[in-house]
Amino acid sequence: MNVTGKHVLVTGAASGIGRATAVELAKRGARLSLVDIDARRLEETRRLLPTDATVYEVDIADADAVTAFAEAVPPVDILVNNAGVAVVAPFAETSAEDWAWMAGVNLFGPLRLTRALLPSMIARGSGHLVFVASLGGLIAAPKMTLYSTTKFAIVGFGEALRLELAGTGVDVTVVCPGYVRTGLHAATRYGDEAFRRFLDRPPRWYGMESDDVAEALADAVEQRRALVVLGPERVGWWLKRLAPEVAFAVSRFVARHTVA
């Protein structure tokens, strides 16, 4: 797929991976619609683009807002479901409010938006759905149980959709990066101070940049790839597939010695 001239909608476009993805796809000639709840930073993203874009202040966790938005936006060729939030805390210390917040943004937001825009893609016989999940949707981490739950769900959703949509002209790509240096941690709800300290000041050698993820995402769309796993932590995913019990022991050891 050549993204030149395609109408791309990016959620969570006010910062991080969403902003970098918007810039990368605009450079490749795409027409952009940008979605976020942060209107000020969304406008900052728009000004970074080499071409003009339309911005929409929408809370994708709000079902009514998503419905109204989907009816107003022009036909979308490529939907990048990127918006996400995180809760870092032992599961027993999380609340129903935490669950609703995480599921609303990370899971039901993409489901609702995809459900609203997909019929038009199927009718046109072309389209591409992108889900920015996480390596946390392939391998789990302690104290990120809620986050992994939503991301595992998105990985499964994308895989099932790809099978369901085979032959319709609509492709699906799931992107699973490891730790990325974005502003996500600033909005994260922490119930664990060790994790907060680690993510506030990670080691210099640790983490990818948003631009790297955006470039890989754009390449994956053009190449119609199903799954993209990024970052050095992906060795944990490979190990999990080959030797699950060994992977469990390694993950527990790493967690204890980095965020304990």
Active site residues: 147
DSSP letters of 217-244? HHHHHHHT-SEEEESTTHHHHHHHHH-H
Between CA 155 and CA 45 the distance in angstroms is: 27
Tally of helices (H runs) and strands (E runs) in the chain: 11, 9
209, two tokens: 């940049």
Q: Classify residue 7 by burial, with Cβ atoms within 10 Å: 0-12, 13-18, 19+.
A: middle
How long a stretch of residues is the chain?
260
- 82 with 17: CB under 8 angstroms? yes
Strand 87-88 to strand 189-190: parallel, antiparallel, or no bridges (unpaired)? Answer: parallel
Nearest alpha-carbon partner for 139 in 209, 207, 233: 233
User: Three-state SS for 165?
Assistant: coil
Nearest alpha-carbon partner for 6 in 34, 45, 32: 32
